[in-house]
Every structure is written in structure tokens, then in C-alpha cells.
Amino acid sequence: MYHKSSSSGRTIFFRPASGGVCIFDGLPKLAQIVDEIIKPDEDDNVITLPTLLLTDVASWLGLIKDELEIDSEFFEQVDVVDGLLNIYLVRFKIIDPPFEAAERVGAKFCLLTELRDLMPAELDLLRQAYTAIMGG
């Protein structure tokens, strides 16, 4: 999740209390980004739509769903022990970052340079997210 200032372009990333950048539980240590996206089987019974996830995130933060949006320029998958996780990038659409909402859930906003201590998979996700955010 990130906030990009419309006036300065300053981009900050949401860092949950889990210490990573993926909400809600973070990624396991051995997680790896897959090179080729694998689409779900048509026979799968449950497919979670990313817009439904926004409702959960907004509720968790005490925000309105319309204050968030899925960044359509970014989609990744991560291989974990239990299978594949779909990774979406969420943008805060409001003018100022919701610092108080982050504090309520034990999270904070960080510059990219403050996130160097993340696991390799999360650093790679951030690199790809930053590229998508900056339009590259």
C-alpha cells in the first residue's frame, strides 16, 4: 500500500506492524516471486476479487473504501508453502496520508530508502511496485 503526493510526487509505503509491507500477515521467509503469472483454474470454487479486499482493508484502517484503489499497473504472484498468493498494490487516494489510521493499527508510513531491511521477496515487490507507480 502506498500514498503518492499529487503536488510533490513524494511516495511513501505503508508498513504494517508485522514488519514487512504485505498486509495482513506479511510473507513467509521463503516466499519467492514467480517469474510467470499463473491464472487460477476455471474449476476453482473460490476466487477473491481484489475490490472485495479493499473493503477489508478500509474497515481495518477505519477508512472509507472509496479512499483506496487497486493500482491496475501492478500484479504479482508469490510462491509460498501453501501455494500462490496474488499480490495487489493499493493506493491511498486521499490528499494526505492517513497517519492516524496507520497508528491505530500499529503501522507507519516509510520512504523506500527506509525499507532496506525487508526480506528479498518484499524488496523485489517494492522495486516492481515503485516502477509501476512511477510509470516505468
At 106-120, the pLDDT tens digits run 999 999 999 999 999
Closest by CA position to 21, among listed 34, 11, 10? 11
The pTM (predicted TM-score) of the whole model is: 0.88
What mean pLDDT is reported for the chain?
89
Q: How many domains, in total, are found in the chain? A: 1
Confidence at residue 50, expressed as pLDDT on a 0 to 100 scale: 80
Average pLDDT value for residue range 87-109: 96
| Domain with 92 in it | 2-133
Confidence at residue 28, expressed as pLDDT on a 0 to 100 scale: 85
Q: Are 108 and 18 in contact (CB under 8 A)?
A: no
Ranking 1-15, 26-40, 98-112 by mean pLDDT, the lowest is 26-40
C-alpha 104, offset from chain centre: 18
